[in-house]
Amino acid sequence: MRVKTLQTMTSLRNRCIEEGECWLWQGYFGNGVPAVSHGGKMMPVRAVMVDLLGIRVERARYFAPKCGCADCVNPEHIGQYTQAQHMAKMGRKVDSKGPGRRLKLTQHARATKAKITIEIAREIRLSPEPGPVLAERYGITRSVVGRIRRGEAWADTQNPFWRLAA
């Protein structure tokens, strides 16, 4: 049976080096965030520190350093943010405008492992040639050619009217 370690401020402080006012974390990082095992769970170090210091936390809060240094875990530098504030700080949007998550994942998959590009999809969409000829030329199936022409595959998000075709 594994022992559930409970961290203390001293044990967390011992894993840091001081650089100016910042405490730079020298331990494990999970998804780019300083993390530590606490009570049998991997938790962000800043969340553990806030808990140990007894700071009141409102629900759905994110903890990030106010100083801007991603490695810093100094309790004086920890800021509480809502999801919208956190995503804005990270340079991401949380609203529902623009392409959705599924479309973004599809676009990423296309960019990394697809046989055709968006330029080829535009050519297929505008071509008067039959589907079997285009499928042979580009090394794709006839059904993919049909889906491109119907706007079900390779949505042209650069075109301001692309959602009207769907």
**Domain segments of the chain: what residues?**
9-89, 101-159
Residue 132: pLDDT band (50, 70, 90) is very high
Mean pLDDT for all residues in the chain: 83
pTM: 0.53
How far is C-alpha 150 from the geometric centre of its chain's CA atoms?
30
Average confidence (pLDDT) over 83-87: 81
The amino acid occupying position 30 is G
Which tens digits make up the pLDDT trace of 48-65? 999 999 888 876 688 888
CB-based contacts of 107, cutoff 8 Å, min separation 6: 99, 157
Q: Which residue has the tokens 């049998």?
A: 40
